[in-house]
Every structure is written in structure tokens, then in C-alpha cells.
Amino acid sequence: MKKGLIISLSILGFILLIGFYFMGSYNGLVRLDEEVKKSWSQVENVYQRRLDLIPNLVETVKGYAAHEKETFISVTEARSKAAGTISPEVINDPQKFQAFQQSQAALGSALSRLLVVIEKYPDLKANENFLSLQAQLEGTENRIAVERQRYNEVAQMFNTQIRQFPTSIIAKISGFASKEYFKADAGASKAPKVMF
């Protein structure tokens, strides 16, 4: 009788240990998943700040360079496309993530063209409102870089955890999927040509 009780308690203890391990691993994955979501929200926040600054910048430049309509249209269209790709689902869908990155790169390119236009107008470069907007935009671009890096770090921790055995089994059973990383824009590895 004692031997049967000891075996029963041992089996029950083993089952409890496995249950606690499963519960702890699952809760750890949930915590990391929430960290990724929180980090992604901050990425969205800084991209939204950039989107909010652009109309003011375009309006300020329009007053000085009204005939640069094509540039204004391309910036406005790129902003609209970029705004349409911001959503929490982006981190779980590789195609949406790629579309998000492409739209943000297109917006960055359009902003670069706008800043080239600005170089033609010395009065504009001295305008206090423009200088303030330009400084805010530069600060926002720096924040974007920082938040993208933080997101990649958290996504890496999550992706590492769901690939490690035996947590990988729990991740598959629970439906956890790896998160996408931010990558450098196409052509970023090539040094720019400087010509005088």
C-alpha cells in the first residue's frame, strides 16, 4: 500500500512539475510578446509624429516655393501611403511588415527631395517656423532609429525564446509566431558617390 502511494505521489509530482514548467514557459512567452507589442507601439508613435509634422512642413515650404507642386504632391502621396500601413498587425505578417518598411522608405525619399528643394530658397532656410519644423523632423528621425533598434532587440529576445527547445513546442502549441525585424533600406550598404 505504501509503495503504491509513493508511486502515485511521484507521478502526481512529476505531472505537477511539467504543468508548472508549461505554465511558466507560456507566461514567459506572453510577457515577451507583450514587450514586442509595446515596443512596436512606440515605433508607430514616432512614425506617427513624423506623419504629423509633414503637413506643416509642406505648408511652410509652399509659401516660398509655390511652383514646386510636383514635389509637394509626391510628399503628400507618400505620407498617405505610409499612414495606411501603420497597424499593430504588421509585426505578425511579413508582407505587411515589408509594405510598411517600403512605404516609410518612400516617404523618407520624398522628404529628401523636399529638403533638396528647400536649398534653392535662402529666405525659407531663415524662416523661424521652418527651422523649428526642420529641427523637430530631425529629432523625430533620430527617435525612429532608436525605437527601431529597441524593437529589433525585443523581437530578437522573443524569436530566440520561441526557437529554443522545449519552449518551441509550447510556442507552436500556443500559436506564437516569430516577429519580423527592421532591415536596412535597399542600397543602404553602398556608399554614396560624392561628386564636385
What is the pTM (predicted TM-score) of this model? 0.81
Domains of the chain, by residue range, sit at 2-174
| Burial (Cβ within 10 Å: 0-12, 13-18, ≥19) of residue 189 | exposed
Asked whether the beta carbons of 103 and 78 are under 8 A apart, the reply is yes
Give me 25's grid cell: 514557459
| pLDDT value, residue 63 | 79
Q: Can the peptide bond before residue 166 be classed as cis, meaning omega within 30 degrees of 0?
A: yes
For the domain bounded by 2-174, which CATH number is listed?
1.20.1440.20
pLDDT of residue 148: 94
Per-residue pLDDT of the chain (196 residues; tens, 9 = 90+): 688 888 888 999 999 999 999 999 999 999 999 999 999 999 999 999 999 999 988 888 887 777 788 888 899 999 999 999 988 888 888 999 999 999 999 999 999 888 888 888 888 877 888 888 889 999 999 999 999 999 999 999 999 999 999 899 999 999 999 999 988 766 555 544 534 3
Q: How far apart, in Å, are the Cα atoms of 26 and each of 73, 75, 110, 153, 158? A: 49, 45, 44, 20, 12
CA dihedral over 195, 61, 70, 48, signed as positive or negative: positive
The pLDDT assigned to 167 comes to 92
Q: Report which residue type is found at 6.
A: I
- Res 192: pLDDT: 46
